[in-house]
Chain A
Amino acid sequence: MKTLLIGEYREGKLLESTYELLGFAGELGAETAMLLVGSDNQLPAYGGTLYLADAATCGEYNPDLHKKLILEVVQKESPDYIVFLHSSYGWDLAPRVAAALKIAKISEVIAITDGGFEVGCCNAKMRRSVKPVTAKAVVTIQAGAFTAKQPGGTPDVHKLAATGGGALEFIGYEPAEKKDVDLGKAEIIVSAGRGVGKKDNIPLIQALATALGGELGASRPVVDAEWVNHSHQVGTTGQTVSPKLYIACGISGAIQHLAGMKKSDFIVAINKDKDAPIGEIADVLVVADVMQFVPALTAKVAK
């Protein structure tokens, strides 16, 4: 079995997540070749075949051109699986490659099963086992689901010359909003999720954080609704935290939130839904209404 792994590169750097692709291929027991639109001086520590196109001329985000390069290498290598990360680069590019080849595309794989793949569904509450019908398939893997593998060595580089633009013109990057709190250093974080109900209830969550001597965190919908400012957001598009204690109040436990806090030492979740996926990683799941439980806990802690 053979995989073609599509590496990631942004703002002039090879992304570490590229090694998760090698972890996936290792679990699959497959041969590998890699394709990267990157740079000569940012080669992955990997001794296999590397098809390399220059990001300086191809652009870091130029999906039409990147697709063309991938299709060219697919012709040469005839891989069984073309593997991307399920990332802003991967979920954008992978369906284009699958459509061009008219082969199955399996999204956000979290595990390999007998002849197929395990994926999450229903906001991470449930799982599906999925199998491609076509001989080849495109797969995107969930960030963090497969342990990164850095085999070491120097790749056997085959340069790809690229020509032609695409439908898109990339203008540039905008940096993330400046943070006024560094949650990465906090020892205790109490986070508010949509289950908190409304902006007026945020002070009750803040009160528990204060009583414990911790910081206020938040899930994304709470930030998008402007109940809490962005610097408190935990998750893939917010901050990654690893406090001694993380208390999730009315947070369902979507993968993008978990990615930001699952390394916490101890996790308490308060949720009225006993099946909420946050329960999978919580050390303690309190099945209760946040608005009843949190003030009662704060009162006890404050004593």
Chain B
Amino acid sequence: MKLLVCIKQVPDLESRFKPNAEGVWYNETDLAFRMNEYDEYAVEQAILLREKLGEGAELTVLSIGPDRVVEAIKKSLAMGCDNAAHIQDPAASAKDPWQIASVIATYAKDKNFDIIFTGMQSQDRGSAQVGVTVAELLGFGCTTTIVGFDYDNGTITAKRELEGGIKGVVKLKTPALVTCQMGLNVPRYPTLPNIMKAKKKEITVIPVAELQAEEPLATTTSFHPPAKKGGGIVLEGDVGDMVEKVIAILKDKTAVLR
């Protein structure tokens, strides 16, 4: 069986974001990057399945982006993916989800993957559409937002998470694509021996021009902070002083402290 997991590298979300020169996305200077959280669940689930299948199964991790994304690829290899495809694209962040999905589908179309795993959304772009679009382009069955996954003999049983904590149970035949939600599993930390072993695993580098032909269907015209609603009080400084102030505010503005 052939498995593929798609990962995106995203900035640490506790960073400060400033618009880039074009004003349509963030400036990357000073940002630290790591693997998109939702993709960690996807990688872990793909590895769990790969381990269950044993001999003969192969798990490829794919990421589109500039050279920095190799860090996230290496982490996936150290977690347990067999090999990697780095689709080299310094301008990936300027592409719309349709273009990203088209690149992945073009890469995958003649490789006979049985199951593709993606995150349910990327934390920076948050479009929640790359995975589903890849499935449509490949004609794969697809289900989203999974918090439970089981595979047996060509059939996936997945649990989708719905609003309010209700779940929907679905079955689908491979080839299929699933998009992974938080809580699906507990992603492992790469161990030192596995980090060393991963250094020998193959990373195929493919320039995006070999896979990209699509024009964008949507464009970003501006990237900016939310309009400040104001009203809120911001306290900074000495902890003791802030405690006094909070107590005073609670006494003044709420009926919960007397």
Contact = CB atoms under 8 A, between A and B. Distances in A.
A-B interaction: yes
Interface of A: 10-11, 61, 63, 86-88, 91-92, 94-96, 98-100, 102-108, 116, 119-123, 125-134, 137, 166-177, 187-188, 212, 220-221, 223-225, 230, 233, 236-238, 244-245, 252, 265-266, 268, 273-277, 279-288, 292-293, 296-297, 300-301
5 contacts: A92-B144, A168-B172, A275-B16, A283-B233, A301-B247
The list of the 8 closest CB pairs from A to B, nearest first, reads: A167-B141, A176-B165, A99-B136, A95-B132, A95-B129, A104-B218, A224-B183, A104-B217
A127 B218 contact: no
A103 B220 contact: no
B234 A274 contact: yes
B239 A236 contact: no
Interface string B154-184: 0001011111111111111100100000110
Contacts of B140: 167
Contact of A99 (B133, B224, B228, B233): B133
Interface stretch (B58-66, B76-84, B119-127): B119-127
Interface stretch (B1-9, B44-52, B197-205, B248-256): B248-256
B13 A252 contact: yes
Contacts of B97: 95, 105, 107
A286 B242 contact: yes
A277 to B, nearest CB: 7
B240 A296 contact: yes
Contacts of A168: 141, 143, 170-172
B76 to A, nearest CB: 20
Q: Is the interface of A mostly helix, strand, loop or mixed?
A: mixed
Q: Is the interface of B mostly helix, strand, loop or mixed?
A: mixed
Contacts of B144: 88, 91-92
Contacts of A276: 14
A102 B102 CA distance: 11
A106 B13 contact: no
B126 A121 contact: yes
**Chain B interface bracket (under 10, 10 to 19, 20 to 34, 35 or more):** 35 or more
Nearest to B120: A91
B171 A171 contact: yes
Contacts of B256: 187-188, 212, 244-245
Contact of A127 (B173, B224, B239): B224
Contacts of A176: 164-167
Contacts of B215: 133
B165 A95 contact: no
Most chain B CB inside 10 Å of its own CB: which residue of A125, A172, A188, A212: A125
B166 A175 contact: yes
B229 A284 contact: no
Contact of B168 (A173, A212, A237, A280): A173
A107 B128 contact: yes
Given A244-B254, A285-B232, A126 B172 contact: no
A166 B170 CA distance: 12
Interface string B78-104: 000000000000000000111001000
A233 B169 CA distance: 22
B163 A236 contact: yes
Nearest to A289: B239
A279 B234 contact: yes
Contacts of B235: 284-288
A196 B101 CA distance: 36
Contacts of A220: 182-183
Contacts of B98: 98-99, 104-105
Interface string B208-247: 0000000111111111111011011111100110111011
B243 A300 contact: yes
Given A105-B217, A168-B171, A277-B226, A122 B163 contact: no
B53 interface: no
B221 A129 contact: yes
B225 A125 contact: yes
Given A99-B136, A121-B125, A129 B222 contact: yes
A8 B50 CA distance: 37
B220 A129 contact: yes
Most chain B CB inside 10 Å of its own CB: which residue of A87, A107, A116, A175: A107
A129 to B, nearest CB: 4
Contacts of A225: 186
Given A123-B13, A170-B170, A174-B169, A107 B127 contact: yes
